[in-house]
Structure 1
Amino acid sequence: MKHLLKKISAFTEQLERVLIISGIIAMMVNSTANAIGRYAFNKSIFFSEELNQFLIVGVTFIGFAYAVRKGRNIRMTALYDALGYKARKVLTTIIALFTALLLFYLAYLSVFYVAELKSINRLSPALQFPVYYIYAIIPIGFAMAGLQYAMSFAMNLLHPEIYVSLDVTEEEEKDSMGAL
């Protein structure tokens, strides 16, 4: 089971990296070009702000899935840290299951939101581009993050260690946080 999950994880991690890096570079190039145009030539790129908004949506939702993969999502650990090993294991497993279910549900709901945007044929103001193409990243991001939590849930069920994500155990997380 772990081998299959690792293969799925490796593919989605590469996809997430490419999308995040491309989005950030595109924002940087777009913002720089707009600033140069505005200050050097007294002409702004008319769609620059809109393009950056679209890129922020993509980077945010794909970045969320990537953060979950690396065990870098926000967690409240004050009570958790006071628990014994067995209680932490059970709590982590339950949290992973319910978070996965919640994210899959949000992905499901966001599909309807994107479908509604498509049905009303909403276009972006500057580019006149169908916005449902851009916002389609929302259910994808939720589903990818849900998949990460589902894999964490499976790892916690199948292995004695506490997994905060597919590849990161609680012990490894503590070691990496101590290095910071």
Structure 2
Amino acid sequence: MKNVLKKVSGISERIEEFIVCFSIVLIMLNSTANAMGRYFFGKSIFFAEELNQFLIVSVTFIGFAYAVRKGRNIRMTALYDSLGHGVRKVITTIIAVTTAALMFYLAYKAYFYVVELKDINRLSPALEFPVYIIYSIIPIGFVMAGLQYLISFAMNLMHREIYLSYDVIEGASPGLGESI
């Protein structure tokens, strides 16, 4: 079971890293080219803002899944930190499975939103590109985040330590897993 989780985690990590890095680099290149066009030629790239908006959507939703993988998602720990190991383990496990369910539910709802955008044939204003293609990253991001929470849930069921993600153990020193 752990080998399957490791393989799923590794594949999705590479996909997440590629999408986030590619999107950020493209935002930088697009913004730089647009600024240079305005400064040197007195003309902006007509689609620059729209493209950046699309790329920010991908960075946001895929970046969220990546943050969950690295155990860097937002956690409220004031009361949690004062509890014993067993109670923290139970709470973390329950949070992982309920958050996974929420992510899959949001992916389900986002999927139907994307289908609606496709059905009405909504196009972006500047590029006249089908918006549903860009927004399809939203349910994908939710599914990837949900998978990370499911992996965390499974790791917490299989091990004594408290796992924030596949390879991040709560309170572990950097190198063995990162603590937040």
What's the TM-score once normalised by structure 1's chain length?
Answer: 0.96
Matched, 1:3 2:3: yes
Kept after mapping to 1: 8 A contact 2:93/2:157 = yes
CA distance in 2, matches of 1:104, 1:2: 22
Cα deviation, residue 7, structure 1: 0.5
1:73 counterpart letter in structure 2 = N
SS at 2:33's partner residue? helix
Map of 1:56 onto structure 2 = 56
Q: CA deviation at 1:173?
A: 6.4
> 2 CA distance for matches of 1:108 and 1:173?
37
Alpha-carbon RMSD: 1.3
Matched residue type, 1:168: V
Return the letter of the residue paired with 1:145. A
Residues 103 and 143, structure 1, Cα contact 8 Å, conserved in 2? yes
Are the aligned partners of 1:151 and 1:165 in contact in 2 as well (CA < 8 Å)? yes
Whether the 8 Å CA contact 2:168–2:178 is kept in 1: the answer is no
User: Does residue 66 of the first structure (1) align with residue 66 of the second (2)?
Assistant: yes
Residue 176 (structure 1) shift: 4.2
Provide the aligned length of Structure 1 versus Structure 2: 178
Q: CA deviation at 1:172?
A: 2.0
Unaligned runs of 5+ in 1: none
* Preserved contact between residue 115 and residue 132 of structure 2 (Cα < 8 Å): yes
Q: Distance in 2 between matches of 1:27 and 1:147?
A: 27
Find the aligned partners of 1:118 and 1:173 in 2 and give their Cα distance: 47
Which residue of structure 1 lines up, in the alignment, with residue 168 of structure 2? 168
Superposed displacement of residue 171, structure 1: 2.1
**Structure 2: runs of 5+ lacking an equivalent:** none
CA distance in 1, matches of 2:156, 2:109: 27
Contact 2:164–2:170 (CA under 8 A) maintained in structure 1: yes
- Residue in 2 aligned with 1:32? 32
- Once residues 172 and 164 of structure 2 are traced to their aligned partners in structure 1, the CA distance between those partners, rounded to angstroms, is 9
**TM-score under structure 2 length normalisation:** 0.96
CA contact (8 A) 2:118 2:130 kept: yes
Question: What percent of counterpart residues are identical?
Answer: 68
